[in-house]
A and B are shown apart, each in its own frame.
Chain A
Amino acid sequence: MPELIAPIAGNVWKVLVAVGDKVELDDELVILEALKMETPIYCDDAGTVTEIKVKEGDAVNEEDVLIVID
C-alpha cells in the first residue's frame, strides 16, 4: 500500500484531504511547516486515502508516514 512520507522534518500545517478522498498524482495532500516556511507535499500515486496518520499541529520527523493511500 503506497504511503506519503514526510520528506523533511517540521510541523503539519494543513491536511488537505480526508479519508475516502480520491487523489491524483501531483495533488497537494499535506502542507508541512519548517523554519517558518510552508512546504507542500505532493501525491506520488493515484488512489483513495485510507488513513491519515497526522493531524494539524503535529511535529513530524523526516521519513514519518503522513497518509496511507490505497
Chain B
Amino acid sequence: MFDILRELIFTSGFVSLSGGNIIMWMISFVLLYLAIKKQYEPLLLLPIAFGILVVNLPLTFLMDPEHGLIWFFYHYGIELDIIPPLIFLGLGAMIDFGPLIANPKTLLLGAGAQAGLYVTFFAAVLFGFDLQEAGSIAIIGGADGPTTIYLTSKLAPHLLGATAVSAYAYMALVPIIQPPMMKLLTTDAERKIVMTKLRPVSKLQKICFPIVTAMTIMLVVPPAAPLISMLMLGNLFKESGVVERLTNAASNELMNVVTIFLGLSIGATMTAATFLSPKVLFIFFLGLFAFAISTGAGLLMAKFMNLFLKDKINPLIGAAGVSAVPMAARCVHKVGSEANRRNYLLMYAMGPNVAGVIGTVVAAAILLKNLG
C-alpha cells in the first residue's frame, strides 16, 4: 500500500516541478486573462497560453520529439513550414486589395514602413544576437504573425515562442503603441487632411492583381514564394467569384483549423528552459523598438511623398504600412477622426496596410535569402 502511494507521488508531476515551470504558469495565466477578459487577439493568444501551461506541466512529454502529441503538430505544421502559408491562403481570401489597386502610390508606404526591420536587425546584432536571431527579431517590426513564425522557424527556431508572442502582442497593442508616434510625427494640420476619393476598381483589375503580383514578386525574390503564392491564390479565389466554396473553406474552416495547431504549437515551444532567459526580454524590447520605428518610417515616408504630390495624402496612413491588418488601418481612422471628425481614412489606410503585408513578406524573403 505504502509502495503504491510512494510510486504515485514519485511518478506524478509534482516532484519534477521547477520554479521556472511555475513562472511559466503565471505567464500563461496572464495571457489567458488578456485573451479572455481583454480580448487581445484571443484566437491566437488563447491556444498559445494553453500551450504554455500544458508544456510546463512536468513529465507530460507533450513536446518530446517523435513521441509527444504537440510535437507532431509543431513538427509537421511549423518546422516543415506548412501552417504559415495556409494562414496566408485564408488571409488572401479575406483581403480586399482594391484600395491598393486604386492608389498604387501607397505601395511605397508599405515598403517604407519596413525600414524598422533593417534598423532593428543592426540593433539586435549590436546587442549580441547572431545574424539569424537578429533577422528573426527584426521581422517583428512588420507586425505580421505568420511571416514572423515562418522566418523564425527557418532562421532561429529556438526563439520561436518569443518572437511569435511578441509579434502577436504588438499587433494587439497597435491602438496603444501607434497613436503617440502618430501625434509626435505629424502636425494637427496634416492629420486634418482629407484625401481625394479613390477611383473605382474594376473586377478585371482585381482578378489580374493577384496573378501579376504573384508572378512579379516570385520572379524578383523567389524565397517569398511559399507565402506569396498562397496569399495570392486565396485572393484569386475571392476575386474570381466562381469558387465561393473554396474561398469560404480557405478563410473560415481551414484558417480556423490551422490556427488551433499554430497557437498550441507556438505556446508549447515556450518551456521554462527556453523562455526564461534575459535574451527573451531583449527580444520583446527590440520587437517593440522595431514596431515603433516601422510606424515612424511609414509616417515620414508619407510626409516625404507629400513634398512631390499635388493631391496631398494624410500622412497618418503611412503608419498603416506595418502589416497588422486591419488593426493599423483602424487606428489611423480613429486618430484621423479625432483631428477632423468628418475625415474617414479607413479605406485609404487599407491601401498601405495590405501593401505592408506584401512588404513584410518580401523583407522576410530577403532576410531568408541572405541569412538562411
Residues of A within 8 A of B (CB): 7-9, 26, 34-37, 39-40, 42, 62
Are B342 and A37 in touch, CB under 8 angstroms?
no
Chain B positions 313-372 with a Cβ under 8 Å from a chain A Cβ: 326, 329-330, 333-334, 337, 341-342, 344, 346-347, 350
Are B347 and A8 in touch, CB under 8 angstroms?
yes
Residues of A within 8 A of B341 (CB): 26, 40, 42
Within the assembled complex, what's the spacing in Å between the Cα atoms of A9 and B200? Answer: 12
Are A7 and B344 in touch, CB under 8 angstroms?
yes
Within the assembled complex, what's the spacing in Å between the Cα atoms of A61 and B337? Answer: 20
Give me 16 A-to-B residue pairs in the complex whose CB atoms sit less than 8 angstroms apart, sorted by A's number: A7-B342, A8-B344, A8-B347, A9-B347, A26-B341, A34-B347, A35-B326, A35-B329, A35-B350, A36-B326, A37-B330, A37-B334, A39-B333, A39-B337, A42-B341, A42-B342
Residues of B within 8 A of A62 (CB): 347
Nearest Cβ in chain A — how far from B40, in angstroms?
A: 14
- A8 with B342, Cβ < 8 A, contacts A35-B330, A37-B333 known: no
Q: Is the interface of A mostly helix, strand, loop or mixed?
A: loop
Q: Is the interface of B mostly helix, strand, loop or mixed?
A: helix
Q: Which residue of B lies closest to A9 (CB)?
A: B347
Within the assembled complex, what's the spacing in Å between the Cα atoms of A10 and B39? Answer: 23
Residues of A within 8 A of B344 (CB): 7-8, 39
Residues of A within 8 A of B334 (CB): 37
Residues of A within 8 A of B337 (CB): 39
Residues of A within 8 A of B350 (CB): 35
Q: Which residue of B lies closest to A26 (CB)?
A: B341
Within the assembled complex, what's the spacing in Å between the Cα atoms of A26 and B337? Answer: 13
Given A35-B346, A39-B333, A42-B342, 17 more pairs with CB closer than 8 A: A7-B344, A8-B344, A8-B346, A8-B347, A9-B347, A26-B341, A34-B346, A34-B347, A35-B330, A35-B350, A37-B330, A37-B333, A37-B346, A39-B337, A39-B346, A42-B341, A62-B347
Nearest Cβ in chain A — how far from B197, in angstroms?
A: 8
Within the assembled complex, what's the spacing in Å between the Cα atoms of A40 and B329? Answer: 17
Residues of A within 8 A of B347 (CB): 8-9, 34, 62
Chain B positions 168-187 with a Cβ under 8 Å from a chain A Cβ: none
Within the assembled complex, what's the spacing in Å between the Cα atoms of A26 and B344? Answer: 15
Within the assembled complex, what's the spacing in Å between the Cα atoms of A28 and B77? Answer: 48
Within the assembled complex, what's the spacing in Å between the Cα atoms of A43 and B341? Answer: 11
Within the assembled complex, what's the spacing in Å between the Cα atoms of A9 and B98? Answer: 12
